Amino acid sequence: MIEAFIAAAVAIVSAACGWFLSHRWQSKAYRLSVDNERGHWNANVEQWACQVIDIMTRIHDNFNRLEYKEAVEVSSDLAIRLSILVDQGRLYFPNVMRDVYGENKQISRQGYRSAVLDPLVAAVKIAKGTAPSFDALALKEGYGANQYSKALKLYQNAFLSLIET
């Protein structure tokens, strides 16, 4: 009788140890999977942000060195590419407060746009020829030669600050 009791106790302890080890390994595997997915997401965001920086720098350069009309003309394709990147950015930074604003819009347009994308939208407008809605000439000289290039540099810096955080 005591032998049966010892055998049952050994079986219970073995089962508990097996469950504990299995649970621990599954938990560790899950954390590794989450970390891997986060790393993959971060790499994709970094690649996307590098494309944004490249285009914004090119637009800034156009408005800094060319006459206004020529800069708008030369930057039109870049404005389209930046607009595409804004929409792609919605995949990484979806709209917030979807149940508060824009309920009558398509799902991807409901809510408020992420603050990370706001400077990009403003840069697209400037690249298409819209004047900044603030006194950009008051910005530092290093930002550019005119109100358009200065505003673009301000938006690029804002984007960099937001994407870093």
Distance, CA of 109 to CA of 94 (rounded, Å): 9
> Which tokens sit at 14?
């073995």
> Which tokens sit at 114?
């992420």
The answer to whether residue 19 scores a pLDDT higher than 80 is no
**Residue 80 covered by a domain:** yes
**Residue 132 covered by a domain:** yes
The answer to whether residue 6 scores a pLDDT higher than 90 is no
**Residue 16 covered by a domain:** no
Residue 115's domain comprises 42-164
**Residue 104 covered by a domain:** yes
The answer to whether residue 59 scores a pLDDT higher than 80 is yes
**Residue 63 covered by a domain:** yes
What's the pLDDT score for residue 111? Answer: 73
What's the pLDDT score for residue 60? Answer: 97
What's the pLDDT score for residue 118? Answer: 95
Is residue 151 very low, low, confident or very high in pLDDT (cuts 50, 70, 90)? very high
Range in 12-16, 33-37, 88-92 the model is least confident about? 33-37
**Residue 4 covered by a domain:** no
pTM comes to 0.75
Residues 127 and 78 sit within 8 Å (Cβ to Cβ): yes
**Residue 146 covered by a domain:** yes
What's the pLDDT score for residue 130? Answer: 95
* Structural domain count of the chain: 1
118-127 vs 2-65: helix crossing angle, rounded to 10: 20
Cβ neighbours for 92, distance < 8 A, ≥ 6 positions apart:
41, 44, 45, 48
**Residue 97 covered by a domain:** yes
Compute the radius of gyration of the chain from its Cα atoms.
Answer: 27
